[in-house]
Structures are given as structure tokens and as C-alpha cells.
């Protein structure tokens, strides 16, 4: 987004401005002792790479913008339809949309009410007649619409939340450390400037006879110029290649996510995708995960599993081969129910007749009969009726056609009493061909039972027992009832219904009164149980993430019972928890007075939505009212403190905005890295609010994916994204920064020590070309190789031991303390690298009695010792060696000697005499045995203490990484642990639907249904491969292995 783009530009602008300033200083003869090429070469390379990367990003960004803005739509202008681009559509235009076309703009965001008069007849207008931007027109050949809102005023953009630039915690820390390095650089330059002033006063005057000062430059001015000279000499403390190298590493790790075939979902031909390249290491530091439920944890595909009809429960395997119109993909588990239907049992047939009539499903035929339902629940129930012989075939605004046990029956549709969150039920009123008027109703048990005839009390008790059993299995339940109506009453009721539907004032209240009037004294038929299956591997993934000490909060729009059942199904709520405490009051005072399960309230207790908590209590918020109370300004911190004491938090009935508010609350006050994952447009604001946003490409479109930082097809891939790629990326970035600072501290501090031996004259100890190539050529490839391919343990052991993830959450691998240790290490190595060669070469002579040491030979020796030490340190830091790592290290080492020998050769002197005057310095230096002894001694004194300290710490205070690496070398990876299925406690799901408003009015409107199905060809056609099967992996932890070994011993 534009904020990200601006921040990166500012960051690079400041860094590049600093190096441009250095370049200008190097062009001033009175200041610089180095050629401008030392900084100019690096600056040109960095700017070129950055420019190419930014250009690619700009091109892709504008390409996406053009793709959306240049979509075409028919606009009615001057009585004719003209094809216009989306960008040219304005408020007030009338547009024509066709089937499967995107809705161009968004209509009214708030409550909308009105009437439309056609040929003297009034029709009701409300929010159901509004098409929102981002939707796709389905099952309708065409429609005309008036543009009410567009662009940033559309509901899609308003609900998407602000686009915020996301930076990693390592970015924040690095920026702080860079400022500290600036201070450190200024301090060193100040010390050397003071040293220069003292030396000039005590010693410099002796040399003025044959080295006179330049005219107009006295001692104070000379010291001032020396300060800036040392800024140039010591500028390698902050190398220009730092930010570019970071971007390369992030880009490489992003490609590894894109290429991971274990995160590829062959069923939908969907690979994992890193949609950003700047947040990879943040994946290794996640502390809180905020997840949607439907479509994220579940498949959002419902199946009709069990039912209760007239007091008898059904649910065993059934063969539907007797029914030619049955759905071949449908399975049910009870032969006795089929026999009841086929034998003509009136209660059973009425049960399935209700399911075939009481819905808003649309049909579509393209080769075979298929259904389009507003919710998966409705589709599952209508499919069940179809398989049991009551086949919904088609509908018009006035009729419903059903094939009942092979006989076509056309019912007249008189009214649809639609579902909403307050009613928690829906009804249809139909007239059979025989003229019988019947109201069919389905809904939550709590609302249906209140409206039953007193004669149903005994049947209601039996059905209640069945509902409890179904809810204990985590199924979503509905209760079915019917009522026979009188013809005269129906005529009067329908007239009053029409008057209420077109009323401009109190329309909803008048309709609710009519619905309440007719939906009473109904007769109970039974109950349905529908399963929203979890995605493969969800319980195991949540278990693994919990072992990694990651807190998982589920934020869902579903009701409390449904959320609680899913909590047990996906292993978030477990039987070993002492209690599940639910706050269910509708006012702040009521919430405050809700009793504590243990009879006492902890000091943190306030009127909080999440409930009272102790160590093992899990709060489950139960209504939108409580969420509003908890997110009030004076209760936010208490909400956070209380909720964070829980093992698990499940928020029910939350709006998209409230999801984002909960995420922002934790993000702001806990100072922890957050991740939000969802699959629908209602999750976009939450995804944008979190540090990391993950989109699942599922049943609810691509809006969540388009707003996310990472995307894949299944929730179970999240454990691999975090525990493998996230952890590796974090470790690699920490290693890179630590090593990068270490090698530059070592390089620069050698210059600092040399200043005390050259009269603080800003003379460089290194050759100018070595200064130019040190970061860009000699040390660039080895560190990139390590930070792209290094693994402390492989992916299987990373998943086997989720506790390896904990150090990243605590910032243990790179922090201020670690930075100081790198500074101390660099200081120590610089002392060894400078003083050991200085001492050994000070009085050394060649075989012919001439002095070995000269400035070129001494510089070459220091350079060789430096590269030998930093390359060996990199080898010590590397855990996982690949052919690329070996090649990069060898190439850099051989390249250094080849370049050095070439630069000091006769040929370079003859061609570029002024640039390469030091003939034979490298060759003559390497011919001396004492030089090789000095290199070996320097290398030994720098590396041996590091190896010794690490050995001692591994023996005395091994980390979890050390333990697992040792285990990986000595043991084989254990097989998957057996899964023990736990019986969940009984919690009834009161209503299966999770949507807020039905489409009854749309069904009774005059639209013709049509749908075209498209299917993308799979990437892999071999279905027996492990990639295609893509089964979740289960691993045992160290604790589970210990328990298992103990049981074997017993």
C-alpha cells in the first residue's frame, strides 16, 4: 500500500542521503584521505538495485489498479446503454449488470427504506434491494441499478479499515540500533579528533618544517577537518549494503513460502503465497492468533447427519440407490428412516416435505440438478430432503415445485416469513394442490418450543433429549414445526401483511407483530442435526500452536453454543479445564452481577464481557451487547487483563469492526506480535489491523486474500508457516544482523586502533579497493548463503518440537543485549587482528636481511587476517551446509586472492599506473613463512575462544535448540502419536444459521435463475502422490514421549 511505499522510500532516502553526504565529503581534498570511488561504487550499486525493485513494485501496483479501474460496465446515458470503465461511473448513474458480473459500486451503507410504485401498485424497498460493491450477480440474467455510493464511500472500502504500513519488530530495533551506531561513530570520531589535537600540539610542530600546514588552516580548524575525515574512514560501521541485503533475504524467504509444496492444496490448485516480502521474520515471533471460525476452522460445507422425527432418533448408514434423483455425494446413516419414508409414514413425510418447502434455495440445472443456497445449512437440509424422496425442483415468485416420492406437486407460495437474528426462525405459508393451507417453520429450539401447542409437551421433552445428544457431538440443530391455517383468516392476514410491508413508519415492528400472531400453537415435527466439518488437521494444528505458547482467540459472528461446540471440536476447549464460564447478561449491571463459578471474584473482576478467570477457566463471550460494554474506553484494559489470563478466548456475535478493535487492543497494550486469519470480507478489517494478516482462499471469495500478507487454502498450513518458515526466517534474519554488525565492527575498529599509530592523521590502514569491495564483494555472498539456507533443525523436527518457537516470541536471538555482545566480540577480534600482525611484523626481516614490513604489505596482511577470521566465524555460525554455501565461501575466498594479486600485478601498473602503483605487494608478502604463521595465529586467537565458550554453554546451559539438535543427530524422528478422541460435554446449538438476514423477499421477486460453473484444472493430476493427498502430520512432543516410555516400562 501507499503507506508502506512511502515509509520504505523515506527509510532508503535517509540512508542514501547519509551516503551521499559521505560522497560529497570525499570530494573535498582537505578532508578526505580516500577516493570517492569507495563510497560512490557502493552507492551506485545500492541505488540501482533499489530502483529496479521499486520499479517492479510500482509496475505491479499500477497493473492491479488498472485491472480494477478499467473493468467495463453498461451505463444508461441519453436513453442508450454505453460501455464505460469503472473509473468513469458516478453517483446517480444507472448501470446494467449481467449474470456473473462484479457489482461496480456500493449502495446505501445505513438503514434504507422506501417504496416503488409501478402501474399504481406499491412495492417495498429496503436494504435487501441494495447490491454492494464486491458482490457478484448470480442466478440472474440482468438487472438495472442506481448508483448511490462509489469509490471510498462504498461499504466495501468503509468496512475494510485503514491500510496501515506494517513493520517488523526487528525493523524497529534495527532503526534504534542504527541511531546508536551513529552515536558510537560520533564518539569515536570525537576521541580521535581530541587525539589529533593533542598530537599536533606535542608532536606535530616537529614536522611542520618539511610538512607545512596549508595556508589559512590552523590547529583548531585542522582538528575540525580531521573529525569529518574520520567520519569518512569509519563510515563502514553503517554499510550502505545493509538494507539491500535485508530485502534480498526477505525476498528469498518469501520465495521459499511460495515454493513449499507441503503448503499446496491440490483440490483447489491453490499454493501458498507470500503477498509481502517485508514481514517474514515476524512470522517467527507470533504470540496471539485471532481466527475466524466459519470457513477458516471449518470447511463451511454442511452435512445432514442425524434427525429426530416424532420422538424417534435416526442416524446410521443408508443406501440411496433406490432413488434416481438422489445426490451421489450424500451419505446418511440409518436404514430405518428410509423404510419409514417409503412406507408412507405421515409424520416422516411431513418432516421432509417441510425441508423441501421451507427455505430460500434456488435451483440450477446444467447437466444435473444443483442447489444455490444462501447458507450451507439450508443447502444441506434441502439436499437431505431430496435424497429421502422429496426433491425440490424449481420455484417462481408464486410457486414451489417438488417431486414427492416420484410424483410432481406444485405448491402455491403465499408468504415467506424470513429469518433474522431476532426471530431466529423462518416460515413459509403454502397452499397444496388440494387447497390445504399450511405454515411450515424451522428455527432455534428456544424460540420454536415457546410457540408450540400445549399438546406437544411430551414430544418436546423427548426431542430435547435428542437435541442435547446432538449438541454434545458438536452438531448444529434446528427444530421443525407446522400449523394448518384457515382460508378466511389467511385472506385477512395477507392483506394486513401487504399494508405493513409498504408502510414508511414502523415497518419492521408491524411485520414482527404479524409474524408473532401467526407463528403460534404450532405442532412439533422433530429436529435436524447438521455437521459443519472441521478442516483436516485443525485440532492437531491448534494443539501444536498451543504447545508453541501461542494464544489463540476465535472471533466469530456465530452464536455462543455453536462457537462453544467448535471450541471442543477443534481442541481449544478441553475436558481437563475446570469450567467454561459464560457471561450472558444484556446490560453492564447484569454482566457485573453475573456469579463467579467458584463463589468469589478475583481482584480483576469488572463488568467484562469475557467472564471471571482463573488459571484454567476459559471465557466465552455470548452476545454483541457484552462486546460493546467490554470495548468501552473505561473497560478496555480490564478486558485485556482478564482475557489474557485465559487459556482460550472465544468471542461470539462480533461484528467486523469489533474484530479489528479486539486485535488493536491486544496489539497496543500487550506489545506482542499478533496474527489474524480469516476467509471472508468480514475478516478484512481484522486482517489489516494485525501485525500479520493471513487470508484463506475458500468459499467466501477472495477479499480476505487480497487484503492479506500471506495466503493459503487450509488452516492446517498455518503451523508450517509459523513453526517452520516463520522460525527459520526469524533465525536467519537475526543471524544476518548479528554477523553483519560483527564483521563491520571488526573491520572498522581495526582502523580505530591504527589511528593511534599514525598520528591521528585519518590515514587508512586498508587498501582503498579493499574498502570498496569488503561489503559488496568479499563478504556479501557467504552471508547471503547462510541467511537464505540455514536451518538449526529441519522442518520435521521443527514441527515435532513446537517449543523451539518460544525464543522468537521472547526476542532472544537478536536484542540490545545481543547487539552489545556483537560489539564486544568485534572489538576483541579487531584488537587481535591489528596487534598480532603489528607485533609479529614490527621487527621482522626477510631471508636477505631486508625489512618485510611496509604499509602495503602490512595492509595486505591485515586484510587477509580479517577475511580469514570473518569467513571462519560465518562457518562456525552456519548449522546447515548446502552446495551453495560451500560455493559462496570458496568463491569469496578465492576471489579475494585473485583480485588482490591482480591489482598488485605488473600488468595493472602498466595500464593504470596512478591507480595501482603497489607492484608485487601481495605476491612478496605471501612468500614469507612468518606471514602465514601470523594469519594462523590471528585466526586461532579469534575463533578458539568462541568455540570454547559455545562448548561450555552447551554442556552447562543447553538451550532447547541445542537439545533438539543433539537429539536429531542421535535419534530417528518418532512416528505420529495416537490420537485419543475425547467426548465433548453437551452444549446445545440453538440455531444452525449464522447469517443475519434471509433472502425471502428476493425469492418472491421476479428473477430468473441461471449459473455457470467453472473449474480450474488441477496443477497435479497424479492423485496417489503424497502432495495430492496432503494429509496433516502429527508429532509427539518430548513430554508425550516420556509418558509413553513410562507406560511401556510399566
pLDDT tens per residue across span 706-722: 888 899 999 999 999 99
Q: How far apart are CA 576 and CA 412, in angstroms?
A: 54
CATH number of 255-293+537-723: 3.40.50.1000
CA–CA dist 954, 941 (Å, integer):
21
Which position has the grid cell 495430492? 1028
Residue ranges of the annotated binding site for Mg(2+) are 292, 294, 679, 683
What's the whole-number mean pLDDT along residues 99-114? 57
Pick from 812, 274, 659, 558: nearest CA to 667: 659
Sequence-distant (≥ 6) Cβ neighbours of residue 663 within 8 angstroms? 290, 674, 676, 686, 689, 690
| CA dist., res. 875 & res. 885, Å (int) | 9
Closest C-alpha among 355, 312, 282 to residue 710 = 282
Residues at the binding site for ATP are 292-294, 378, 419, 442, 476, 556-558, 653, 659, 682-683
Query: Is 652 in contact with 618 (CB distance < 8 Å)?
Result: no
Map grid coordinates 378466511 to a residue: 488
Instruction: Give the model confidence (pLDDT) of 194-252 as tens digits.
Output: 998 888 888 776 776 666 767 766 767 777 888 888 888 888 887 777 877 888 898 89
Tell me how far apart the alpha carbons of residues 417 and 427 are, in angstroms, rounded to a whole number: 5
By CB neighbour count within 10 A (0-12 exposed, 13-18 middle, 19+ buried), where does 445 fall? Answer: buried
Does residue 292 carry a catalytic annotation? Answer: yes
What is the mean pLDDT of the segment spanning 683-696?
A: 89
Rounded to 5°, angle at Cα 501 from 499 and 503? 70
Residues of the binding site: 292-294, 378, 419, 442, 476, 556-558, 653, 659, 679, 682-683
User: How far is the C-alpha of 162 from the C-alpha of 667, rounded, in Å?
Assistant: 15
pLDDT given for residue 989 in this prediction: 43
Q: What CATH architecture is 71-159?
A: Distorted Sandwich (2.70)
The domain covering 298-533 belongs, at the CATH homologous superfamily level, to Calcium-transporting ATPase, cytoplasmic domain N (3.40.1110.10)
Instruction: Pick 945 or 531 by higher pLDDT.
Output: 945
Q: Is 699 exposed, middle or buried (0-12, 13-18, 19+ CB in 10 A)?
A: middle
The predicted pLDDT at position 624 comes to 39
Q: Could you tell me which of 261, 252, 271 has the C-alpha nearest to residue 790? A: 252
> How much is the average pLDDT of 137-156?
73
Note the pLDDT tens digit of each residue in 505-552: 888 888 889 999 999 999 999 999 888 778 888 888 998 998 999 998
Q: Which residue has the cell 499478533?
A: 674
Distance of alpha carbon 203 from alpha carbon 772, whole angstroms: 32
Note the pLDDT of residue 395: 87
Are 767 and 761 within 8 A, CB to CB? no
**Could you give the residue ranges of the DSSP H alpha helices within 601-726?**
624-630, 636-643, 656-669, 684-689, 703-706, 717-720
For 270-319, what is each residue's pLDDT tens digit?
899 998 888 899 999 999 999 988 778 888 778 888 899 999 988 855 55
pTM: 0.75
- Closest alpha carbon to 246 in 53, 18, 3, 22: 53
Q: Which of 260, 292, 418, 445 is catalytic?
A: 292
User: How far apart are alpha carbons 59 and 61 in whole angstroms?
Assistant: 5
CA distance 949 to 725: 29
Among the listed residues 716, 692, 711, the one whose alpha carbon sits nearest the alpha carbon of residue 701? 711
pLDDT higher at 121 or 963: 963
Classified by CATH at the fold level, domain 2-53+166-254+724-970 comes out as Calcium-transporting ATPase, transmembrane domain (1.20.1110)
User: Among 229, 241, 18, 186, which Cα is nearest to 741's?
Assistant: 241
% residues pLDDT > 70 (the chain) = 72
pLDDT-derived band at 922 (thresholds 50, 70, 90) equals confident
Neighbours of 520 (CB within 10 A): 12
Q: What confidence tens digit (pLDDT) does each residue in 781-811 have?
A: 999 999 999 999 999 999 999 999 999 999 9
Q: Where are the domains positioned within the chain?
A: 2-53+166-254+724-970, 71-159, 255-293+537-723, 298-533
Question: Which pLDDT score is estimated for 727?
Answer: 95
Give the residue from 854, 834, 824 showing the smallest Cα distance to 755. Answer: 834
Amino acid at each position: 500500500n501507499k503507506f508502506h511505499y512511502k515509509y520504505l522510500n523515506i527509510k532508503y532516502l535517509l540512508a542514501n542521503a547519509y551516503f551521499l553526504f559521505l560522497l560529497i565529503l570525499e570530494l573535498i581534498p582537505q578532508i578526505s584521505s580516500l577516493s570517492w570511488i569507495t563510497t560512490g561504487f557502493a552507492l551506485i550499486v545500492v541505488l540501482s538495485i533499489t530502483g529496479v525493485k521499486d520499479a517492479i513494485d510500482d509496475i505491479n501496483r499500477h497493473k492491479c489498479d488498472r485491472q480494477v479501474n478499467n473493468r467495463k460496465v453498461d451505463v444508461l446515458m441519453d436513453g442508450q446503454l454505453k460501455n464505460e470503465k469503472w473509473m468513469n461511473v458516478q453517483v446517480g448513474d444507472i448501470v446494467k449488470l449481467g449474470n456473473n458480473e462484479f457489482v461496480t459500486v456500493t449502495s446505501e451503507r445505513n438503514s434504507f427504506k422506501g417504496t416503488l410504485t409501478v402501474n399504481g401498485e406499491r412495492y417495498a424497498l429496503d436494504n435487501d434491494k441494495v447490491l454492494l460493491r464486491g458482490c457478484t450477480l448470480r442466478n440472474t440474467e440482468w438487472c438495472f441499478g442506481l448508483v448511490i455510493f462509489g469509490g471510498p464511500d462504498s461499504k466495501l472500502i468503509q468496512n475494510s479499515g485503514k491500510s496501515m504500513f506494517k513493520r517488523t519488530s526487528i525493523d524497529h530495533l534495527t532503526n534504534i540500533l542504527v541511531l546508536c551506531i551513529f552515536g558510537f561513530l560520533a564518539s569515536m570520531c570525537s576521541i580521535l579528533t581530541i587525539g589529533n589535537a593533542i598530537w599536533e600540539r606535542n608532536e606535530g610542530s616537529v614536522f611542520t618544517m618539511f610538512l607545512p600546514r596549508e595556508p589559512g588552516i590552523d590547529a583548531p580548524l585542522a582538528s575540525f577537518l580531521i573529525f569529518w575525515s574520520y567520519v569518512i574512514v569509519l563510515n563502514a560501521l553503517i554499510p550502505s549494503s545493509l538494507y539491500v541485503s535485508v530485502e534480498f533475504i526477505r525476498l528469498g524467504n518469501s520465495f521459499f513460502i511460495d515454493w513449499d509444496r507441503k503448503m499446496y492444496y491440490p483440490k483447489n490448485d491453490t499454493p501458498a503465497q507470500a503477498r509481502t516480502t517485508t514481514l517474514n521474520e515476524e512470522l517467527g515471533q507470533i504470540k496471539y492468533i485471532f481466527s475466524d471460525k466459519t470457513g477458516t476452522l471449518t470447511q463451511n460445507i454442511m452435512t445432514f447427519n442425524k434427525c429426530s422425527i416424532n420422538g424417534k432418533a435416526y442416524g446410521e448408514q443408508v443406501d440411496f440407490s433406490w432413488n434416481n434423483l438422489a445426490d451421489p455425494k450424500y451419505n446418511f446413516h440409518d436404514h430405518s428412516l428410509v423404510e419409514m419414508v417409503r412406507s408412507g409414514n405421515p409424520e416422516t413425510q411431513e418432516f421432509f416435505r417441510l425441508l423441501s418447502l421451507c427455505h430460500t434455495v434456488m435451483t440450477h440445472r446444467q447437466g444435473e440438478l444443483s442447489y444455490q443456497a444462501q447458507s450451507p445449512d439450508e443447502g444441506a437440509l434441502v439436499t437431505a430432503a431430496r435424497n429421502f424422496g422429496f426433491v425440490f425442483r424449481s420455484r417462481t415468485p408464486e410457486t414451489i415445485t417438488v417431486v414427492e416420492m416420484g410424483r410432481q406437486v406444485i405448491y402455491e407460495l403465499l408468504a415467506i416469513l424470513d429469518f433474522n437474528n431476532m426471530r431466529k426462525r423462518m416460515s413459509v405459508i403454502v397452499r397444496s394442490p388440494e387447497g390445504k393451507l399450511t405454515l411450515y417453520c424451522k428455527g432455534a429450539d428456544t424460540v420454536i418450543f415457546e410457540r408450540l401447542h400445549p399438546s406437544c409437551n411430551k414430544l418436546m421433552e423427548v426431542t430435547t433429549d435428542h437435541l442435547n445428544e446432538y449438541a454434545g457431538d458438536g452438531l448444529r440443530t434446528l427444530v421443525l414445526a407446522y400449523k394448518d391455517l384457515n382460508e378466511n383468516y389467511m385472506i385477512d392476514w395477507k392483506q394486513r401483511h401487504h399494508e405493513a410491508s409498504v408502510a414508511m413508519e414502523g415497518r419492521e415492528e408491524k411485520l414482527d407483530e404479524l409474524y408473532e400472531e401467526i407463528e403460534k400453537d404450532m405442532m412439533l415435527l422433530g429436529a435436524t442435526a447438521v455437521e459443519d466439518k472441521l478442516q483436516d488437521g485443525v485440532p492437531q494444528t491448534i494443539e501444536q500452536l498451543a504447545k508453541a505458547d501461542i494464544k489463540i482467540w476465535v472471533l466469530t459472528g456465530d452464536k455462543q453454543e455453536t462457537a462453544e461446540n467448535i471450541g471442543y471440536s477443534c481442541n481449544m476447549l478441553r475436558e481437563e479445564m475446570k469450567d467454561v464460564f459464560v457471561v450472558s447478561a444484556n446490560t453492564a449491571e447484569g454482566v457485573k452481577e453475573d456469579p463467579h463459578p467458584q463463589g468469589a471474584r478475583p481482584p480483576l473482576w469488572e463488568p467484562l464481557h469475557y467472564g471471571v478467570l482463573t488459571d484454567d477457566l476459559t471465557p466465552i463471550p455470548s452476545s454483541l451487547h457484552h462486546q460493546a460494554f467490554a470495548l468501552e474506553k473505561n473497560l478496555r484494559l480490564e478486558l485485556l487483563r482478564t482475557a489474557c489470563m485465559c487459556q482460550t478466548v472465544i468471542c461470539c456475535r462480533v461484528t467486523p469492526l469489533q474484530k479489528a478493535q479486539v486485535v488493536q487492543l491486544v496489539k497496543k497494550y500487550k506489545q506482542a506480535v499478533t496474527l489474524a486469519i480469516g476467509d471472508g470480507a468480514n475478516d478484512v478489517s481484522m486482517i489489516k489491523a494485525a501485525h500479520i494478516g493471513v487470508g484463506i482462499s475458500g468459499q467466501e471469495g477472495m477479499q480476505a486474500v487480497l487484503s492479506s500478507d500471506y495466503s493459503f487454502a487450509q488452516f492446517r498450513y498455518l503451523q508450517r508457516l509459523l513453526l517452520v518458515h516463520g522460525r527459520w526466517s526469524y533465525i536467519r534474519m537475526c543471524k544476518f544482523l548479528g554477523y553483519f554488525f560483527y564483521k563491520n565492527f571488526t573491520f572498522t575498529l581495526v582502523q580505530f586502533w591504527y589511528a593511534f599509530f599514525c598520528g591521528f592523521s585519518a590515514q587508512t590502514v586498508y587498501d582503498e579497493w579493499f574498502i570498496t569491495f569488503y561489503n559488496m564483494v568479499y563478504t556479501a555472498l557467504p552471508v547471503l548463503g547462510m541467511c537464505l539456507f540455514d536451518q538449526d533443525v529441519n522442518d520435521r523436527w521443527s514441527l515435532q518440537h513446537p517449543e523451539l518457537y518460544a525464543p522468537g516470541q521472547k526476542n532472544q536471538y537478536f536484542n540490545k543485549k545481543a547487539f552489545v555482545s556483537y560489539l564486544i566480540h568485534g572489538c576483541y577480534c579487531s584488537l587481535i587482528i591489528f596487534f598480532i600482525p603489528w607485533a609479529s611484523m614490527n621487527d621482522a626481516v626477510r631471508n636477505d636481511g631486508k625489512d618485510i614490513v611496509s604499509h602495503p604489505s602490512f595492509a595486505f596482511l591485515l586484510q587477509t587476517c580479517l577475511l580469514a577470521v570473518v569467513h571462519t566465524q560465518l562457518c562456525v555460525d552456519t548449522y546447515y551446509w548446502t552446495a551453495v554455501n560451500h560455493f559462496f565461501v570458496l568463491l569469496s575466498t578465492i576471489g579475494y586472492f585473485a583480485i588482490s594479486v591482480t591489482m598488485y600485478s605488473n600488468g595493472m601498473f602498466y595500464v593504470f599506473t596512478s591507480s595501482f602503483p603497489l607492484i608485487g605487494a601481495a605476491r612478496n608478502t605471501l612468500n614469507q613463512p612468518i606471514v602465514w604463521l601470523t594469519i594462523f595465529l590471528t585466526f586461532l586467537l579469534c575463533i578458539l575462544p568462541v568455540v570454547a565458550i559455545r562448548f561450555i554453554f552447551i554442556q552447562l546451559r543447553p538451550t532447547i535448540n541445542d537439545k533438539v539438535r543433539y537429539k536429531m543427530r542421535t535419534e530417528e524422528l518418532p512416528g505420529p502419536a495416537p490420537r485419543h478422541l475425547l467426548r465433548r460435554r453437551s452444549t446445545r446449538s440453538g440455531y444452525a444459521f449464522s447469517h443475519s438476514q434471509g433472502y425471502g423477499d428476493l425469492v418472491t421477486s421476479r428473477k430468473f435463475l441461471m449459473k455457470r460453473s467453472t473449474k480450474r484444472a488441477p496443477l497435479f493430476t497424479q492423485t496417489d502422490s503424497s502432495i495430492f493427498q496432503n494429509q496433516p502430520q502429527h508429532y509427539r512432543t518430548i513430554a508425550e514421549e516420556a509418558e509413553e516410555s513410562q507406560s511401556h516400562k510399566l
